[in-house]
Amino acid sequence: MLGGIEAGGTKFVLAAGPSPREITARHTIPTRDPETTLAEAAAWFAGLGQITALGIGSFGPVDLDPASVTWGRITNTPKPGWADCDIAGFFMDRLGVPVGFDTDVNAAALAEFAASGGAVGSLAYLTIGTGIGGGLVLDGQPVHGIAHPEMGHIYPRRHADDRDFPGTCPHHGDCLEGLASGPAIIAHWGASLSHLPADHPAHAVIADYIAQACHMLFASVAVGEIVIGGGVANTPGLVERVASRARELDAGYLPGGTRHKIIRPRLGDNAGITGALMLAEKA
Ligand code: ZN
């Protein structure tokens, strides 16, 4: 039996099953301070009986370097209490099982890559929600680099109808997350994207910023497919708008451009937790 945790800033999704595609038990708990949250998660797994491995897809930033003494920790998050939290070590000690650990978005990318059935050799997963993050799978392997990608913090070119909003990222102001995350949209226009009228200019502005990130991914690492999940991405029509805008931005230039796909998750809301179970399987 495998265990998986999709560790998010607002909730932890817990699941167990004999394989990543066969979830037989699941449970969601709110994210509070680390002590309370991790203890509640561990108690839920303990109550299921013996799991043989655990996978964690976590919000970040996290330390993914297996040679590092702080591997498995959340590092410099501004989320109160969570900086330097040894999330992987806690579960190794408490449950006595091997733990696989990666970012939440790399876990989701792995799961979507598997769900594509080999249709693409490489894939990126973008989440557009409370924050913006991206995971990358190239030739079947998640990309970490010297830490892990932080695709939400690139600077898009400002849209002609959106010059003045300073953005909400505490580090960068008008980076992608500072302009197009859920909280940024509310700070800018006073409502979530799905609550703004269909003809509101925000729809085109947000689609443009996300499309620029997609174009960057197609142009820089030549992924075949970009999967877009997260709460903001549930806005009706947004992903289609992003795909259309990305084609405009490319202007027919990139090799393989006609095969570029921008889609909603094949696994729906289960991408992250399925990826966490895949990390358990690997562990
Ligand atoms: Zn930023």
Distance 155 CA to ligand 1 centre (A): 8
Going from the Cα of 51 to the center of ligand 1, the distance in angstroms, rounded, reads: 38
In a domain, 197, yes or no: yes
Q: What is the pLDDT of residue 258?
A: 85
Residue 20 structural domain = 2-104+276-282
DSSP 202-263: HHHHHHHHHHHHHHHHHHHH--SEEEEESTGGGSTTHHHHHHHHHHHHHTT-STTGGG-EEE
In a shared domain, residues 55 and 147: no
pLDDT, residue 219, reads 96
Asked if residue 41 belongs to a domain, the reply is yes
Give the residue ranges of DSSP H helices in 48-121: 87-95, 104-115
Query: 132 C-alpha vs ligand 1 centroid, how far in Å?
Result: 9
Distance 95 CA to ligand 1 centre (A): 36
**In this structure, what are the phi and psi dihedrals at residue 166, rounded to the nearest 5 degrees?**
-75, -15
Are residues 36 and 122 both part of a single domain? no
Question: Do residues 276 and 91 lie in contact, with contact meaning Cβ atoms separated by under 8 Å?
Answer: no
CA of 179 to the centre of ligand 1 (A): 9
Q: What pLDDT does 238 receive?
A: 98
Q: Count structural domains, the chain.
A: 2
pLDDT tens, position by position, 106-140: 999 999 999 999 788 899 999 999 999 999 999 99
Compute the distance from residue 85 Cα to the ligand 1 centre, in Å.
22
Whether 258 and 126 share a structural domain: yes
**Is the same domain home to 42 and 127?**
no
Question: pTM of the predicted model, to two decimals?
Answer: 0.95
**Closest alpha carbon to 134 in 157, 162, 102, 165:** 102
pLDDT digits (tens, 9 = 90+) for 136-162: 999 999 999 888 999 999 999 999 999
Ligand 1: centre distance to CA 15 (Å): 31
- Which positions ≥6 away from 230 have C-beta within 8 Å? 126, 127, 128, 129, 132
Encode 150-173: b = buried (16+ Cβ within 10 Å), e = exposed. Answer: bbbbbebebbeebeebebbbeebe
Residue 261 counted as domain residue: yes
Residues 53 and 137 in one domain: no
Answer yes or no: do 83 and 126 share one domain. Answer: no
Between the alpha carbon of residue 82 and those of residues 59, 255, 267, the distances in Å are 10, 43, 29
Q: How confident is the model at residue 19 (pLDDT cuts 50, 70, 90)?
A: very high
pLDDT, one tens digit per residue, over 185-226 is 999 999 999 999 999 999 999 999 999 999 999 999 999 999
* Helix, strand, or coil (residue 276): helix
Q: In whole numbers, what is the pLDDT of the chain averaged over residues? A: 96
Asked, as a colleague might, if the bond just before 142 is cis with ω within 30 of 0, I would say no
CA of 27 to the centre of ligand 1 (A): 31
The DSSP symbol for 84 reads T
Q: Residue 9: its pLDDT value, please?
A: 87
The 10s digit of each residue's pLDDT in 43-87 is 999 999 889 999 999 998 999 999 999 999 999 887 889 999 999
Q: What is the CATH number of the domain that holds 24?
A: 3.30.420.40
CA dist list (Å): 162 to 39, 133, 151, 208: 45, 22, 21, 11
Residue 259 neighbours by CB distance under 10 Å: 10
Q: What is the mean pLDDT of residues 34-38?
A: 97
Tell me which of 116-130, 167-181, 265-279 is least confident. 116-130
Q: Do 127 and 77 sit in the same domain of this protein?
A: no
- Residue of 137, 260, 241, 223 lying closest to 180 (CA atoms): 241
Q: Is 112 inside any structural domain? A: no
Ligand 1 center from residue 160 Cα (angstroms):
20
Please tell me the distance between residue 209's alpha carbon and the centre of ligand 1 in angstroms: 13
- Residue 150 C-alpha to ligand 1 middle, in angstroms? 9
